[in-house]
Structure 1
């Protein structure tokens, strides 16, 4: 209960602030499934991206973050209470995948970046395998979220929520890392199209 209250308080405080500073426009809120486990997948150009998703999605969104951020006990405590969990980016962290799948199994929402990390410069990077892998192993839909922004104050930011993608046809298939990357790229292609349309 305390965790949920903290999350709601932070979101309630930051929502009007960011709406004023970044002229936020939300499109497609009605497309977010409310009573099932889902993955929000978005492009990633700025540290503001997980903040935008966390504040403006009508669900609590759990994010993974590099384990170094949890070294400070107080900051780590705050992150955990906001639904953030650690990942070791230097190796394949099986425990992180298990944590993410457990969150999905509990009917919750996870936020992920198909590119795997922030992308510098123009355009988007290539999709990694993780988005589709979690969706298929977690048996859940992926909601592509397009963030169209210059990340400058008083410049308009558009957050477009697209129709959920269902990978149910692949649940019982034996897939390779390459297969997962191709499916994840389909999510990223939808986001790229929005960015082209709104830019």
Structure 2
């Protein structure tokens, strides 16, 4: 049993003590095969929240600086995170992500590339999510995180219907254009679940 398997149930309990959690659409995550989960990004609490909200093990990218911190870096490695040098076109991180998806793992990405405190309105994204959607056969699942991570506040996570990437590939979209399509699906989930009747 590894650190991820030990830590996940513990983190799950902690999150359910701290917050009132609702998970919607977890059935949209395939039980097997490569899956690219693309989500809005509000907080450093997001990756564990996504991880405890699904059955499968989750890998995610984290800024390289975190891996240089004693103990923290070791924990990140064992929680299936891997480093990325932001703004540097990190070929190593790209190669690792491609291998994970092609080998049938689940990878979490935040298309915006950084935290966005506006919560319900996404900003311009980077090309990474679109690149992986176009370059692999992974199922792309949009994800929306809604809430404020305040003690006992309501937190909602929604996994949307998988995006049909064949259309993007047939249209030969650029990576940036594919990312825009992915973000539109995330924004649609945010709009649907943050309205007055949500």
User: TM-score higher than 0.5 here?
Assistant: yes
In structure 2, the residue matched to 1:193 is 191
For residues 144-168 of structure 1, give each alpha carbon's deviation from its aligned partner in whole angstroms, at most 9, with x where no partner exists: 1111112111111111111111202
The offset of 1:195, in angstroms, is: 4.2
Which residue of the other structure, out of 144, 157, 160, is the alignment partner of 1:159? 157
2:113 to 102, 111, 116: 116
2: CA distance, partners of 1:186 / 1:124: 9
Deviations 1:78-125, CA, capped at 9 Å, x for gaps: 211111000011311122111100011110000011211101335321
- Residue 47 in 1 paired to residue 44 in 2? yes
Conserved? CA contact 1:128–1:184, under 8 Å = no
In the TM superposition, structure 1's runs of 4+ consecutive aligned residues that sit over 6 Å from their partners are none
What is the rounded CA distance, in whole Å, between the counterparts of 2:29 and 2:179 in structure 1? Answer: 24
RMSD after superposition: 1.9
- What CA distance in whole angstroms lies between the structure 1 residues aligned with 2:87 and 2:141? 28
**1:135 maps onto 2:125 in alignment:** no
* Pairwise CA distance, 1:126: 2.2
Look up the SS of the partner of 1:159 in the other structure: strand
Query: Per-residue CA shift, 1:29-85, capped at 9, x if unaligned?
Result: 222101110011111111111110112221111111111111135322221111100
Instruction: Assess if the C-alpha contact under 8 Å between 2:38 and 2:182 holds in 1.
Output: no
Moved more, 70-79 or 43-52: 70-79
Secondary structure of 2:142's match?
strand
Q: 1:184 aligns with which of 171, 182, 185?
A: 182
* Shift, 1:172, TM fit: 6.0
Aligned mate of 2:31, from 27, 30, 34: 34
> Which residue in 1 is equivalent to 2:86?
89
TM value normalised by structure 2: 0.89
Gaps of 5+ in 2: none
Q: Is the 8 A contact 1:44 1:119 kept in 2?
A: yes
Structure 1: give runs of 5+ residues left out of the alignment.
none
Matches within 5 A, 1:94-109: 94-109=91-106
Comparing 70-79 with 97-106, greater Cα deviation is found at 70-79
Which whole-Å CA distance do the structure 1 matches of 2:73 and 2:185 have between them? 31
2:145 equivalent in structure 1 = 147
Closer/same/farther in 2, CA of residues 73 and 79 from structure 1, 3 Å limit: same
Deviations 1:11-40 (CA, angstroms, capped at 9, x unpaired): 111112211211111112222101110011
Aligned residue pair count: 196
